[in-house]
Structure 1
Amino acid sequence: MAPPSAALYTPTFFLALLTTLLLCASLRLLAILPDTRFSSPPPRRKSGSSTRILIVLGSGGHTQEMLYLLKDLDPRKYTHRTWVVSSGDAFSVGRAVAFEKALEEKAEGEGEQVRGWNIGSAHYDIAIVPRARKIHQSLITTPFSSLYCLWACFRPLLIPTTSSSTSSITDADLPDLIITNGPATACILILASLILKFFNVQGASSRGKCKTIYAESFARVKTLSLSGKLLVRVVDRFLVQWDGLDGVGGRAEFVGILV
């Protein structure tokens, strides 16, 4: 005769269940993080397939460095560009719009050679997310604002905010590449991308989506920024601009001056 079900729910049972869940979660995390023995190689992309890039801007210096980093961006390779900006950062919004306008002006100067260029309002959008922590905000309320920011970061990852009817349906997909250089919003957004990959939402993990490149700020000469310290183990490429930081965290790659 089988024992009553209530007899199964003992402290030992719950401890074993918790241990099993933690073990499964740990193995899954190892599978999605880069450069681990458990991670699988990304699937090969088809030639000519649509490519979406997501760019995280920060106020002031972070934005200026990022735009300089992207000055040679080829609009033929990236079908859609999503710019993520923190709320209240009108400067970064204006700079992103100016960058896209500059691409259009460059295309006008090229004439017939611009066939295949992905430019214009149908090929970019600007997503505004709430700040994870405002200046002088209490540490008591910071976890709540950070969770709100995390929730808001899922939207620009899952679908562009453009309402243009000319936008290709393939643009409304997870980003292929996320690039950032260290604003606090980037930490939250990359956490959101890891959650999508953990649960393989829309094939984020199996299709090799949401790859991340982190370019440490030019101002960081001897030590990593706080964002860099948090992300050095979880991004796919971690680039530094000073040879003194080469190999820091076991992941940093010195690539020379980028900005």
Structure 2
Amino acid sequence: MASPPPSALYTPTFLLALLTTLLLCLTLRALAILPSRSPKPRLRTPGTPTRVVIVLGSGGHTQEMLYLLRDLDPAKYTHRTWVVSSGDAFSAGRAVAFESEMESRAGSGHGKNVGPGTFDVVTVPRARSIHQSLLTTLGSSLRCLCACFAPLLGFTTASSMAQAPTKDLPDLIVTNGPATACILVFAALLLRFFNVRGAQSRGKCTTVYAESFARVKTLSLSGKLLVRVVDRFLVQWEGLEGVGGGRAEFVGVLV
């Protein structure tokens, strides 16, 4: 008995079943990488080098982030990658000054939270400029997305201090709301979705979002976009606790 021609298999019913199966697999995979409502912190071996990616935004976002990290322990977070948008020389300069201050404290022996480490400042294309039309925003956002994979995958150059930078994925990503942060978090989710370099299986690219102190009653646009996909979503006003399906955590004033 002759077998049916291959073209006979591609019936509308078969294609619909194939599409449904594919969508189901993608949905289950997405649910597997998204955080639960009660995230459980992953335990790390003491002394293990830790890499953190910090996203800075112009003006107030940068000021708040640097104040948020004022007690950062460089002996624990041994490599720090600062991500800034193109044209934001202010944030890049503040990141370098922040690192220089930590290095000075280490040299003078003042304070306990000092130690070895490396850092770099990475510039990515701006996701969206002020007054940019929505028609061209898609293109600039895609350029930003492609550029965000480099700092996540460790294709950066170390600045200052002695040790060579790790080429591993970041253990932690910290942001507080600039538009570039949304793109970078999405890039991290893609790495976890496809488990690139074990991003999901090894617990890499954990994301923490700290909502701006200025957001008292409602979330920022970035906050609304990220509240359900980041691992920890922190707010500084009690009135915002529990928003986003119960994901927002009130932790008090951070800045």
Given the two structures, how large is their TM-score scaled by the length of structure 2?
A: 0.93
Identify if the C-alpha distance between structure 1 residues 206 and 42 changes in structure 2 by more than 3 Å, giving closer, same or farther.
farther
Q: Once the 2 structures are TM-superposed, how far is the Cα of residue 42 of structure 1 from its aligned partner? A: 6.9
Aligned to 2:186: 191
- Look up the SS of the partner of 1:140 in the other structure: helix
Aligned to 1:251: 247
**Are residues 1:208 and 2:206 paired?**
no
Contact 1:53 1:82 in 2 (8 A): yes
Residue type of the alignment partner of 1:17: L
Aligned to 1:80: 79
Aligned to 2:4: 3
Identify if the C-alpha distance between structure 1 residues 50 and 98 changes in structure 2 by more than 3 Å, giving closer, same or farther.
same
Given the two structures, how large is their TM-score scaled by the length of structure 1?
A: 0.92
- Alignment deviations for residues 144-188 of structure 1 (CA, whole Å, 9 cap, x no partner): 11111101100000014115795446x111000000000000000
Q: Where do residues 96-245 of structure 1 align in structure 2 (5 Å cutoff)?
A: 96-110=95-109, 117-119=115-117, 123-162=118-157, 167-168=163-164, 171-245=166-240
CA distance in 2, matches of 1:158, 1:77: 20
- Look up the SS of the partner of 1:153 in the other structure: helix
Q: Which runs of 4+ in 1 moved over 6 A?
A: none
- Look up the SS of the partner of 1:141 in the other structure: helix
Q: Once the 2 structures are TM-superposed, how far is the Cα of residue 44 of structure 1 from its aligned partner? A: 3.8
Tell me the C-alpha RMSD between the 2 structures. Answer: 2.1
Comparing 98-107 and 157-166, the one that deviates more: 157-166
- Look up the SS of the partner of 2:146 in the other structure: helix
Residue type of the alignment partner of 1:246: E
Residue type of the alignment partner of 2:115: W
Identify if the C-alpha distance between structure 1 residues 105 and 160 changes in structure 2 by more than 3 Å, giving closer, same or farther.
farther
Q: Once the 2 structures are TM-superposed, how far is the Cα of residue 109 of structure 1 from its aligned partner? A: 1.4
- Alignment deviations for residues 194-244 of structure 1 (CA, whole Å, 9 cap, x no partner): 000000000000000000110000000000000000000001111000000
CA distance in 1, matches of 2:200, 2:94: 32
Contact 2:182 2:226 in 1 (8 A): yes
The alignment of Structure 1 onto Structure 2 pairs a total of residues equal to 252
CA distance in 1, matches of 2:82, 2:37: 30
Identify if the C-alpha distance between structure 1 residues 163 and 245 changes in structure 2 by more than 3 Å, giving closer, same or farther.
closer
- Look up the SS of the partner of 1:48 in the other structure: coil
CA distance in 1, matches of 2:15, 2:37: 30
CA distance in 2, matches of 1:237, 1:251: 8
CA distance in 2, matches of 1:71, 1:133: 29
